[in-house]
Amino acid sequence: MAGQEGYFHLFSSLPAEIRLEIWQYTCCQPRVVEVYYDAAQDICTTSTPQPAALHVCTESRREASRVYKPLFGTISYAANIYFHPDLDTLYIPRPTYMGYDDNARDFTQLVTGAADISNLALDHVNPAIRKPWETYNKYALMQSFPRVSEVYLVLDSNSENGVENDRAKHGFLRLAEPARDSSEVCKLLQDIKMSFAYEVGADFGFDDKTEGAPQQPALVLKSRVETDYLRLL
């Protein structure tokens, strides 16, 4: 404890410009932020801890407030989930019972901040458990984020295996390259694109440059990895 007290004492003695650079650096670490919309209560919640810099001191909060925005408010509740629009990834896990239903499809109409989001992640859904409406709703959801050019489809989530999609145990997630054979990943991605093409007529096989044609975001497969809090220190 004495060592920690000494550390913080030394930190406060650093020149202001160096302290500010350190705070700014802590705000440049990308996060995966899980956001759940509860239709019954018209509220968004998250299991992802708020950025630490918002709570350390007045100086750190001032710097963090320059980059983190309170997003995901609703008609009933003000926005209170802090998010870095350019660095953080919004991860909307598959709802347990109804899958990606109408509320998921209309997420950007029900929740504030869609226009600010650059990075989006959704669960890959195993065809064996996929509801009839999910492919269309996922496609509509992806199209509703104007700044998103690449969508991560998350493998190895609970929903892919047909079980309840529990929140992260520690609240910290990261997205990594799939821990699968590369040929299996390529085949799975091709199957996903074919499913979108067959069910909603969306062509993810090439960039359609035709004037007026909807631009499809790139689809990228990722694995969901939970990170122990202690390993982040």
* Residue 142 belongs to some domain of the structure: yes
Please tell me the total count of domains within the chain.
1
* Residue 13 belongs to some domain of the structure: no
Q: Computed over its alpha carbons, how large is the radius of gyration of the chain?
A: 20
Residues 225 and 174: beta-carbon distance below 8 Å: yes
Domain extent, residue 186, equals: 26-51+85-232
> Which residue in the block uniquely carries the two structure tokens 């869609």?
114
* Residue 136 belongs to some domain of the structure: yes
* Residue 65 belongs to some domain of the structure: no
The pLDDT assigned to 139 comes to 95
* Residue 8 belongs to some domain of the structure: no
* Residue 214 belongs to some domain of the structure: yes
Which of residues 23 and 71 earns the better pLDDT score? 71
* Rounded distance between C-alpha atoms, residue 170 and residue 227, angstroms: 7
Which of residues 219 and 172 earns the better pLDDT score? 219
Structure token pair of residue 104: 């998921």
CA 160, 163, 167: angle at the middle one, nearest 5?
A: 90
Which of residues 153 and 58 earns the better pLDDT score? 153
The pLDDT assigned to 187 comes to 95
Which of residues 134 and 27 earns the better pLDDT score? 134
Burial 152-166 (b: 16+ CB within 10 A, else e): bbbbbbbbbeeeebe
* Residue 215 belongs to some domain of the structure: yes
Q: What is the mean pLDDT of residues 195-223?
A: 77
* Rounded distance between C-alpha atoms, residue 117 and residue 111, angstroms: 12
For the chain, give the percent of residues with pLDDT over 70: 75
DSSP lists the bridge partners of residue 226 as 173
* Residue 119 belongs to some domain of the structure: yes
